[in-house]
Structure 1
Amino acid sequence: MSHRTTRALLICGAVAPLASLLVFHLDMVFRAGYDPLRHAPSSMMTGDRGWLQIANFVITGTLMIACAVGIRRTLPAGRGARWGPRLVAVYGVAMIATGVFVTDPQLGYPPGTPSDLLPGVNAQVSWHGHLHWMATFVVYAATTLACFAFARRFAAEPGGRAWAAFLAFTGVLAPLIMYGGSLILQPLSISGEWYAAFDGIAGRMVIPLGWIWAALVPLRLLRTRAAMEAHS
């Protein structure tokens, strides 16, 4: 595999998460009945334009698998060389799975769904809904572990401490928001309203964290590769 191909694979990872965020937020603005402070981000997979977010997740995951190959080519040895690209590949596969297994309509979205309907609280979750949330768990588990794997590597590189600090911060904050908050609020969610509000707000916070790190890792590797080639 040529250096040019490896660079293209890394660019896939640097661009895909940011493009995914852009598509996600633009689509959210023009969704009738969608409330970002009430509805989970995955809810946009349902409804008339659900195909757009399904494609968004699948394409992003596919490009991140390509990026994992590029990372493996760039890091043949050293800290994070083994588990870093593997975790990015897991992240990509799980992202594809979140698109293939569509979540259930809930909390008034898409329009026509009962406003008090929350799977797991007052409605039965479908088999594909179960698999969707399992895949989501894998996405954020891979995110957390990959952040620490790359933070450990970047911390030992010249000029990499700021990158490492951000990755470590993300690795702590993302699961703390998503799972820590859920454990606190779930006992209060008899009607589903508390949990719904948390789910919407947490999604606005966690998704950028979960996507931006995935762009920063290949971006850092592209910069270090360019610097090495310039001095060679």
Structure 2
Amino acid sequence: MTSTRGRRALIGCGAAGSIGFLILFHLDAATREGFVLLRHGPSLLMLGPGGWVQIVNFMVCGALMIACSAGLRAAGAGRWGPRLMAVYGGAMIGTAAFVTDPQLGFPPGTPSDRLPGTNAPETWHATLHTVAVMVLYAAATAACAVFARRFRAQEGGRLWAAGLVVNAVAAPVVLVVGAFYLQTESVGSRWFQLADGIAGRIIIPLGWVWAAAVSVRYLRTTPGSERNAPLARTDGRR
């Protein structure tokens, strides 16, 4: 059995991983030559000189999410929520193991209109990278739905549940529209470039903030917290 302190430490990995990832990503993005926040996604920072920083960032964050899933399972967070958190973490590690291809002017020296899979060949590892990203967001979306259902049944959990529902609806919509439409059209249009850039900035927090919210919620309501509010148990099969 995991001790209360150990369980809370594992759960806290979710918040630490999410927040740490976003901070390091933005610091790296601000200092990497040629990287444009309104044009390039986090995955491109794995390429070129200094690319190891984001590779490590993704891998460490993924490992912390898997640790968080163990803490949630020990805290009685049901069956599917912790499992989906683990899949989410594993997919994050997968995105770092299989890096994407140079595109859209990054790293410097790459043609600004190059978009593998559209107007240039795509490598096998870039294809696996895309699959990992899709699994990551699918797991995040499903986890948001599962935890929202649990939180809704708990005292003081309705607002938390509402936030997760919004995340679960918005993430797949923004991802699909951005990745499969806006990004393709952005090659020849500044307006689509702007729209794609905005979608890219929205999808990043949607992919990580939810995990921090789940982690914080359980830290606030499991034994050992100052509030020590009891969790309302729902069907343990979820």
Q: Same fold (TM over 0.5)?
A: yes
Identity rate, percent = 54
Structure 2 residue identity aligned to 1:52: V
The aligned counterpart of 1:25 is 26
Partner of 1:212: 209
Q: Shift of the alpha carbon at 1:195? A: 6.3
Letter in 1 for 2:98: F
The Cα shift of 1:135 comes to 0.2
Compared with structure 1, are the counterparts of its residues 115 and 14 closer, same or farther at alpha carbon in structure 2 (3 Å cutoff)? same
Offset, 1:121: 1.1
Partner of 1:128: 125
Contact 1:36–1:201 (CA under 8 A) maintained in structure 2: no
**Distance of 1:195 and 1:56 partners within structure 2:** 29
Q: Kindly provide the amino acid, as one letter, of the partner of residue 57 in structure 1.
A: F
| Cα separation, partners in 2 of 1:196 and 1:54, compared to 1, 3 Å | farther
Q: What is the match of residue 73 of structure 1?
A: 74
Q: Please give the residue correspondences for 1:2-81 in structure 2 after superposition, counting only pairs within 5 Å.
A: 2-75=3-76, 81=78
Q: How far does residue 204 in structure 1 lie from its aligned partner after superposition?
A: 1.1
The aligned counterpart of 1:228 is 228
Question: Do the aligned residues in 2 keep the contact of 1:143 with 1:210 (CA within 8 Å)?
Answer: yes
Q: Deviations over 1:59-109 (max 9, x none)?
A: 000000000000000116xxxx11000000000000000011111111111
2: CA distance between counterparts of 1:59 and 1:189? 32
**Matching of residues 193-208 of structure 1 within 5 Å:** 197-208=194-205
Question: Which structure 1 residue ranges, 5 or more long, are not aligned?
Answer: none
Q: Residue type of the partner of 1:17?
A: S
Distance 1:142 1:102, change over 3 A: same
| CA distance in structure 2 between the aligned counterparts of 1:35 and 1:147, rounded to whole angstroms | 30
Give the alignment of 1:105-120 within 5 angstroms.
105-120=102-117
2-structure distance, mates of 1:121, 1:128? 16
Equivalent residue runs for 1:156-167 within 5 Å: 156-167=153-164
**Residue 150 (structure 1) aligned to one of 147, 155, 160:** 147
In structure 1, the partner of 2:87 is: 90
Take 2:158 and 2:102, find their aligned partners in 1: how far apart are those partners?
A: 43
Deviates more, 1:153-162 or 1:178-187: 178-187
Q: C-alpha deviations, 1:25-47, integer Å up to 9, x for none? A: 01111111111111222111101
Judged with a 3 Å threshold, the aligned counterparts in structure 2 of structure 1 residues 211 and 179 are, in CA distance, closer, same or farther, namely same
Q: Which residue of 1 aligns with 2:177?
A: 180
How many residues are matched? Answer: 226
CA distance in structure 1 between the partners assigned to 2:203 and 2:93 by the alignment: 18
Determine if contact 1:12/1:67 at 8 Å carries over to the other structure: yes
CA contact (8 A) 1:39 1:196 kept: no
TM-score (norm 1): 0.91
Shift of 1:189: 5.6
Distance 1:206 1:34 in 2: 17
In the aligned structure 1, how far is the partner of 2:215 from the partner of 2:101?
A: 33
Q: Could you list the runs of 5+ residues in structure 2 that have no partner in the other structure?
A: 231-238
Alpha-carbon offset, residue 180 of structure 1: 3.3
